[in-house]
Structure 1
């Protein structure tokens, strides 16, 4: 295992993939993580398999008093002509702050009680504002984007911010999960382009978040600020 500079792109890219994976598995309407600082990083080249990064870093629980949590993670990028999502494992060196279940249930019941399916566009707006009533929908989209960014990451990509172009709730008869269809733009730092994705998600307070479909659309060239 060779040590690499924790502030350089190879380390921060791998740590961002771990953050994306954590947002998908642990995040939701009232919990999201942001990468804080990478303190240690190493890389092991595994012949015929790929490159494995071992990382020590901290994350910020952005929606819960910006609580800082130390983490360790391993991210394995596979060598393959057919793209395979990186393998990610992580360990939190502390407890998550705040129990979000009550707020999750309140949001869930509010959406379930709507007489018309929720629809919205351009979140945030061109001034960076998100209406308070749509903040949980926005946070859920960012957690879902964690899945998309993790699944599509390689050592040569670096996905960061995202915006909602449109969101539409789909009523479900087969179960009680909330279903949202998002049209998203995800910023790819290397190309400086905004990549369009269609993402379909299911969520409920007990079962958590599941991305059931993701479709990458033809790339459009625009700045990170455009939405």
Structure 2
């Protein structure tokens, strides 16, 4: 008499067999990916035809935000090119833009071409400024070198006269004296916050000129100065003056306060204002 073959083990109480479980996960994977790709909020749809210039507008806004958050004049970046992007639209709220773009040093040395890449998600609310931004960039300059250059710029600023009145940077010929370059770079750093707050889907700004600068002496050794910046708004071609107060010390958070006088309508003559403190260290840098 042959011995009986033992029956196969019954499925355990925890569920199906591993093979069946893997098959189920494989079948559910496309659905999970679709869920990740789609926005969680209802009412969003993919925009097949992007509004002209929307990707470049989003990249500029992301860079203004990034420059302010880094808080280092030696790490300032300028937009090189947008590589790819897409937009989702919700007619009730606005545009959400996902994009990848390359950057370059704001003050590149002669013959130097150093590019970094950034990925960002930018949310433009309908007819509202100050887009919401999440941006991550590859390292463009080593931290130690950046700190050294920031300290050299700090020393140059401390050697300048304590009071500078009726200064036009750049001059009428578009030239910036090398001795005044630190002032321009720090002003650009502070103005990046102003330009980000004022940027919308349709409005973007460029720092055209500094019309006045006054540096203050401080007990803690920080660079503390007031300046008036003229911002060129490209869509309306208007020049908007903004008074900015900036406090900066290498390795410490950047502090910015500003007040701008809008020129569009009499109702806006009182202007806009804001203030912010950049974090100690930008983790995405």
Q: TM-score, normalised by structure 2?
A: 0.68
Residue 73 of structure 2 aligns to a residue whose secondary structure is coil
What whole-Å deviation, never above 9, does each CA across 1:143-168 have from its counterpart, x for those lacking one? 21111110011112021242111111
Provide the rounded CA distance (Å) in 1 between the counterparts of 2:125 and 2:262: 25
C-alpha contact 2:207 2:229 (8 A) present in aligned 1: no
1:13 partnered with 2:57: yes
Equivalent of residue 214 in structure 1, options 251, 254, 258: 258
Q: State how 1:27-42 maps to structure 2 within 5 Å.
A: 28-42=72-86
Distance apart, 1:5 and its partner CA? 5.3
Q: Match for residue 107 of structure 2?
A: 63
Distance apart, 1:30 and its partner CA? 2.4
Equivalent of residue 124 in structure 1, options 133, 158, 170: 170
Greater RCO (CA < 8 Å, at least 6 residues apart)? 1
Shift in CA distance, 62/218, structure 1 to aligned 2, threshold 3 Å: closer
Residue 21 of structure 1 aligns to a residue whose secondary structure is helix
Provide the rounded CA distance (Å) in 2 between the counterparts of 1:148 and 1:119: 22
Q: Match for residue 111 of structure 1?
A: 157
Residue 231 of structure 2 aligns to a residue whose secondary structure is strand
The structure carrying a bigger strand percent of its residues is 1
Equivalent of residue 125 in structure 2, options 68, 78, 90: 78
The structure carrying a bigger helix percent of its residues is 2
1:143 partnered with 2:189: yes
Extract unaligned runs of 5+ from structure 2.
1-45, 265-285
Larger Rg: 2
Shift in CA distance, 170/4, structure 1 to aligned 2, threshold 3 Å: farther
Provide the rounded CA distance (Å) in 2 between the counterparts of 1:3 and 1:27: 37
Q: Match for residue 200 of structure 1?
A: 245
Number of aligned residue pairs: 213
Equivalent of residue 25 in structure 1, options 54, 69, 93: 69
Distance apart, 1:210 and its partner CA? 2.3
C-alpha contact 1:162 1:186 (8 A) present in aligned 2: yes
C-alpha contact 2:81 2:103 (8 A) present in aligned 1: yes
What whole-Å deviation, never above 9, does each CA across 1:69-122 have from its counterpart, x for those lacking one? 111111112247xx5521111111x322252212221232343455x5141510
What whole-Å deviation, never above 9, does each CA across 1:26-72 have from its counterpart, x for those lacking one? 25332321111112121112465432111111111122434111111
Residue 20 of structure 1 aligns to a residue whose secondary structure is helix
Q: TM-score, normalised by structure 1?
A: 0.84
Extract unaligned runs of 5+ from structure 1.
221-227
1:172 partnered with 2:224: no
Q: Match for residue 223 of structure 1?
A: none
Distance apart, 1:202 and its partner CA? 1.0
Shift in CA distance, 127/77, structure 1 to aligned 2, threshold 3 Å: same
Shift in CA distance, 66/207, structure 1 to aligned 2, threshold 3 Å: farther
Distance apart, 1:141 and its partner CA? 0.9
Distance apart, 1:3 and its partner CA? 5.1
Residue 124 of structure 1 aligns to a residue whose secondary structure is coil
Shift in CA distance, 68/4, structure 1 to aligned 2, threshold 3 Å: farther
